[in-house]
Structure 1
Amino acid sequence: MSQEKNKRRKTRRAAGQAPERQKRRRRKGNNILWYLLILVFMVTTTIVLTTTVFFKIKNITVTGNEHYDNRSLILSSGILLEENMFRLKDEQIKEKLVEEYSYISKVKIRRKLPDTIVLEITEATPIGAIDAGAGYTLISEEGRVLECNTPVLPEEMPIVMGFSEETPEQGSYLSEMDSDNVKRMQMIMKAAEKTGFSYFNIIDLSDPYDLKLYYQEVFEIILGTDSNLEYKMELILKVIETQNLLTGFRGTIDASYEGEVWTRPSGSVAIPDYSSQLSNDAADPAGDDGSTSDSGSATSQPEDNGFSVGAA
């Protein structure tokens, strides 16, 4: 009898606990919902405060700039004080500065919390100049016109001949038809840098099969095509040093033959009129004694007073 009473008591207790468990589950579900709503509210509030109240710009600085006034760059960027730093349109700012200022090649916008914007400028370096008559036009490695009508040629800056446009606008790029010559200029300058070759102040790109360098009125250096430029320059350096050509020699150094360097002495070296030369109207330099160099001809041979150095 007592066992039956215990069973009834347990049954009544279990029946009373079931609704209580259901209530707890409902409360737990409601709590999770409230937590989610609170989280969404906090995230939304944080975003709103971040883009409206906090992180307002108090300072704007410029680094890496050497050619322009920092204030001009800041004004051109369109960045304003008290503006939220996370609402800036970085790509638009970069494109505007690069387009407006010829020496600027890259711009990085760095946010320095809590309130400073840093414009990190990377400037292009001129590697060659075009003589435009009234002054020099400086061009970058990418073929962009950095500066026009510069009255004085920068030190150790070579004059480059053979481009189709003599007076391009500042900030523009040389025309599409000059793209191959821009690449050849890059190749020559990189080869010269790697080999330490510095005996030239004029680059003549007028004929892609007869590339030439000139060093004052001392050397006319024939490279031929743009293949193996480093190797050719190394051979030329070897000839100049071993034969002591810097003292007393004037004439042509021909490295257009594979693995060989020929020299042809002459009374002087006639430098082409680079200030008026166009790529389709190239002058053919000749020495005072009438000697000429034609690296593209198989019959071009050294005179009796010349010498050659073959590949080591």
Structure 2
Amino acid sequence: MGASKNIQQFSNVEDFQYHKRNREREARKEKLRERRKKVLKIGTIVFVFIILILLSPIFQLKNINVTELKKYTKTEIMNKMGIQEGMNTFFASTSKAENSFKDDPYIESCKVNKKLPNTIDIDIKERKVRGYVPYMGSYLYIDEYGRVLDIQTSYTDHLPIVKGLEFSQFKLGELLQVKNDESFDVIVRIAQMMTKYELLDLVVSIDVSNPSDIRAYSNNVEILLGDISDSDKKIRTMAEILKKIPESDRGTLDLKDMTKPIIFKYLT
């Protein structure tokens, strides 16, 4: 006898059509399942391949370029950011590295860029100390905008000591809040001009207690600046003259009125 066959009988055409549609639907579902399995298999292979590539030695960090700073060394910056040679460049977190300096008063901005496969550039803009403000036996380190960067019991760089500012408190990383705003504006302007004309290392101190009678001191020379008018011209002239006066000379340099002849009065 031949092999028996599974024969279905239908009572009418509608039953036959219904059965046919079910079989076609099941066939499409099966085909879709097979296609999904195939796509998943290919996707898994591609994913594993990409991971293997990213974890390969080609992505090991070899080059770390860091902006040269005065406050921190390259090693200190790398350690604080958690960036080290040999780590995986692709998986290194630039946002975490940048945020590591967000509360540092000395750092104005920080940008970390990855250059695949093995290089990271660290670009840091640093605030620089431009003067010292005496405070209860210590010194506030301020930048050219009057922002407090640090407080120390002493100072090392030859920068002007600022006298005449009235304040009772301060906060690191913020502008110094003073009672005499006009004097504060004066010192900010003068600090910027002295930075421009490279005069900071020649001036020992600046007294802005009276904004109409600003005085600066350099070794044995007292400089009378008057008010803040013509500040650019006054500071430029002061820089030119101080660089020519011998350190042993003592006297007073009058720059209060730039429309009049400049007078240096020697002290005997």
The answer to whether the superposition gives a TM-score over 0.5 is yes
2 CA distance for matches of 1:169 and 1:50? 52
> 1:78 and 1:153, CA in 2 relative to 1: closer, same or farther beyond 3 A?
closer
- Deviation at 1:159? 0.7
Aligned-partner residue type, residue 161 of structure 1? K
* Residues 158 and 200 in structure 1, CA contact (< 8 A), matched pair in contact too: yes
**Pairing 1:253–2:253 present:** yes
In the other structure, the counterpart of 1:171 is: 173
Tell me what 2:211 maps to. Answer: 208
Q: 1:224 to 1:75 in 2, by over 3 A?
A: same
Check if 1:120 corresponds to 2:128: no
Q: Which runs of 5+ in 2 are unaligned?
A: 1-42
Paired residue for 2:152? 149
Cα shift at 1:238: 7.4
Alignment RMSD, CA only?
4.4
> Aligned-pair distance for 1:149?
1.1
CA deviation profile, 1:53-73 (whole Å, cap 9, x unmatched):
765774384613453465664
Deviations 1:259-290 (A, max 9, x none): 124555667xxxxxxxxxxxxxxxxxxxxxxx
Report the number of matched residues: 217
Q: How does 1:63-212 map to 2 (within 5 A)?
A: 63=66, 64-68=68-72, 73-74=77-78, 76-77=80-81, 84-85=90-91, 88=93, 90=95, 94-99=98-103, 101-155=104-158, 157-165=159-167, 168-175=170-177, 181=183, 183-195=185-197, 199-212=202-215
Q: Which amino acid letter does the alignment assign opposite residue 188 of structure 1?
A: I
> Which of 215, 221, 239 is the matching residue for 1:219?
221
Q: 1:119 to 1:233 in 2, by over 3 A?
A: closer
CA distance in 2, matches of 1:142, 1:237: 20
The residue type equivalent to 2:255 in the other structure is A
Equivalent residue letter for 2:160: P
Q: Could you tell me which amino acid in structure 1 is paired with residue 154 of structure 2?
A: P
TM-score, normalization by structure 1: 0.52
3-state SS in 2 of match to 1:126: coil
Would the aligned equivalents of 1:212 and 1:224 in 2 still touch at CA under 8 Å?
yes
> d(CA) in 1 for partners of 2:147 and 2:49?
40
Distance 1:84 1:176 in 2: 48
Say whether the 8 Å CA contact 2:140–2:151 is kept in structure 1.
yes
Q: Could you tell me how far apart the structure 2 residues matched to 1:182 and 1:95 are?
A: 31
Q: In 2, are the aligned partners of 1:146 and 1:171 still within 8 Å (CA)?
A: yes
| Contact 2:202-2:242 within 8 A present in 1 as well | no
CA distance in 2, matches of 1:174, 1:122: 21
The match for 2:11 is: none
- Asked if 2 retains the 8 angstrom alpha-carbon contact of 1:148 and 1:169, the reply is no
CA distance in 2, matches of 1:257, 1:204: 18
Query: What residue is the counterpart of 1:285 in the other structure?
Result: none
TM-score under structure 2 length normalisation: 0.59
Provide Cα deviations, 1:104-163, integer angstroms capped at 9, x if missing partner: 2221211120144332223222111122354332212232322211524313x1111233
Percent identical: 21
SS in 1 for 2:212: coil
| Letter paired with 2:71 | H
2:7 corresponding residue in structure 1 = none
Structure 1, gaps ≥5 residues long: 1-43, 268-312
Structure-2 separation of matches of 1:239 and 1:79: 48
SS at match of 2:176: coil
Which residue of 1 is the match for residue 230 of structure 2? 228
Tell whether the 8 Å contact from 1:208 to 1:226 is kept in structure 2 after alignment: yes
Higher alpha-carbon deviation: 109-118 or 161-170: 161-170
Match of 1:290 in 2: none
